[in-house]
Structure 1
């Protein structure tokens, strides 16, 4: 079983980010109290009580203090058993990862996901990141010295008006640092962000899809040549270093999400917590679940499986798709399947539907073509 905790606080707002967070820390203590109450109230949500993975996302979970981490883990232990081999991940920003903070975190978590985004100083300032290029490099070595061998780094590509060589330098830095896992995402401009407002005013060009595609292909080649497995469209890992928590999402396993804006899935329904700190706290205080519940139809489950499964190296099982749709998927979607094979974006290996390398650039389009209706 899998547990996600959303910690909705940041030192400052990155210009590209549309995740739920607050830069005001005034409610931090009471929100952690509320999150712990939600853990206890939701402890029956999962079909089992042993946690295989725990993931602290945000926001910036590396802002948690020792007492807050102790409070959260005390609550988790009161309601769940944590597997002896559990993967426990915490998202962190480089500027938070001092030697002292890393020693503290090592007592609670065994994996870090570090939001570096780029090693280029001017680009970091343009994004309004809180860390420097020097901190971006230094934190990986400091984490190793603290005992973290299992870690991931985030990068962003497809950044407009950026010299092509800077992306190549970012990739070379990753290889030189030898991190076992990399998550790389194309820059997207969301309306309710600083970049979105700049773009609306004509101060920022639209996303360059051709640039993003070129840099994605370069990313895939450089990392796979260096021995990384391209096991999900945005994720690369050294052998046996997959992100186990995120893999659970892609493989349709049950998980509980707590905290404002967190999502949960139990196999037949999804629920979405309210993305507002004050309303979340008020709801918990009233003894209410701060979530909207959506019961998934068979078509919903098929479409979600296509959307997530096709992104991975394991693809989607035709037999499972047929089972979800009472034996009708292959028959109903035969024409669309043939069309996707013809584009060269989709292939079949035995029972598995797999994106081709070129198809990875069009994953959402391929999945949408194969969607079914109730």
Structure 2
């Protein structure tokens, strides 16, 4: 299984917590879309012997693109790659874009998709998109304003009310650990999402990244700092509430009903190959990682000159082991001792067993069916635990 990720580096406005690569200027949008298509063509040989099973439009804000632009990029993939008969095609979207889609989709060719009722959801389905990942973040106005989200609380609910009429495979994003977010309001956020019968929820603790507006506001004392204990408690509220509603906690930040796990993201965590298209996008082929330049103009100029603006890093056996431990402990699949021995050797397996003993004694890790997994107590700490299991070449 292989996947293609396409980074759409545009947003209406900057969320205060975000450090992803994007621009709030859409002046280069046309050039960018053509550059994305050209990069897809330039890199087609990387997947000449494999089938693409997932296509993911991330960002940035992919829902800023018109139907015509999305259709063009999807058609480019089908023209240049071998695509599975029923691929998972995900579009990240913001509620305000979905509700006001007619404004920026007026140039949709009627011959291409049915848009007689102005339904953006029907149009998405018509061009092959079959999964939506909607950036709700919160159903409370105060939280949305603090984060500088472009939508309001009413639009968040209205968007989901419309989306579920057309899509059954929907994921929503929610953020916890927001300054001032009480446990009661957090429970209401989760319950509101559940009321729409959404089958997948991705939820993240608010993190303070350097060079973001949030970092500056906290440093100046304008906003309270993030409380790690609050976030820890709200993580467990999330886990308990969703598991009681038959969600499976299959990855640290992701919960899905049976048959609704994200195929795209699951492939990342299981270290399967993917190509990242667009500025700042990352790629992985099993032994090598690559990342595109994080600058829109330089990216476009390079691609127009048929140059791939990508840096690569060959992963050592130790790098690959460390990545497997990191991703494995985040998931329900855990870390297989047999796989470690097969892929990396007995020395790595023995090292993993020895290093994990202290965490097993602390009831943060446990061994089940020759797999090392995190306990409920250890889940929120899984990244930190994994780092203590890394093998370091001195």
TM-score range relative to shorter protein: over 0.9
TM-score, with normalisation over the residues of structure 1?
0.97
User: Contact 2:272–2:285 (CA<8 Å) still a contact in 1?
Assistant: yes
Q: Aligned Cα RMSD in Å?
A: 1.2
Q: 1:322-373: CA deviations, max 9, x gaps?
A: 2232221222233312112112111100211100001112111111111012
Aligned to 2:122: 103
- 1:48-59 alignment runs, 5 A limit: 48-59=49-60
Q: Determine the structure 1 residue equivalent to 2:269.
A: 250
Q: Distance in 2 between matches of 1:53 and 1:341?
A: 36
Confirm or deny that 1:217 pairs with 2:236. Answer: yes
The CA deviation string for residues 109-152 of structure 1, in whole angstroms up to 9 with x for no partner, is 0000000000001211221111111111111121122x211010
In the aligned structure 1, how far is the partner of 2:378 from the partner of 2:363? 7
Deviation at 1:46, TM superposition (A): 2.7
Report the 3-state secondary structure (helix = DSSP H, G, I; strand = E; otherwise coil) of the residue aligned with 1:284: helix
Larger mean Cα displacement after TM superposition, 320-329 or 151-160: 320-329
Equivalent residue runs for 1:1-374 within 5 Å: 1-46=2-47, 48-98=49-99, 100-108=119-127, 109-145=129-165, 147-374=166-393
Greater Cα offset, 40-49 or 348-357: 40-49
Pick closer, same or farther for the CA change 1:74–1:231 going to 2, 3 Å. Answer: same
- Where do 5+ consecutive residues of structure 2 fail to align? 100-117
Instruction: Find the aligned partners of 1:297 and 1:48 in 2 and give their Cα distance.
Output: 24
Q: Distance in 2 between matches of 1:359 and 1:163?
A: 23
Deviation at 1:74, TM superposition (A): 2.1
> Displacement, 1:47?
5.8
Three-state SS of the structure 2 residue aligned to 1:129 is: coil
| CA distance, structure 2, for counterparts of residue 54 and residue 269 of structure 1 | 20
Do the aligned partners of residues 329 and 49 (structure 1) sit closer, same or farther apart at CA in structure 2, a change above 3 Å counting? closer
Give secondary structure in 1 for the equivalent of 2:366.
strand
Q: Deviations over 1:1-22 (max 9, x none)?
A: 1110000001111111111110
In 1, Cα distance between equivalents of 2:214 and 2:361: 38
Offset of 1:179 from its aligned partner?
0.1
Q: If the length of structure 2 is used for normalisation, what is the TM-score?
A: 0.92
* Mapped partners of 2:83, 2:141: distance in 1: 40
Q: Distance in 2 between matches of 1:316 and 1:334?
A: 11
- Aligned 8 A contact 1:283 1:289 in 2: yes
Q: What secondary structure, in the 3-state scheme, does the structure 2 residue paired with 1:125 have?
A: helix
- The number of aligned residues is 373
Confirm or deny: 8 A CA contact 1:60 1:92 kept in the other structure: yes
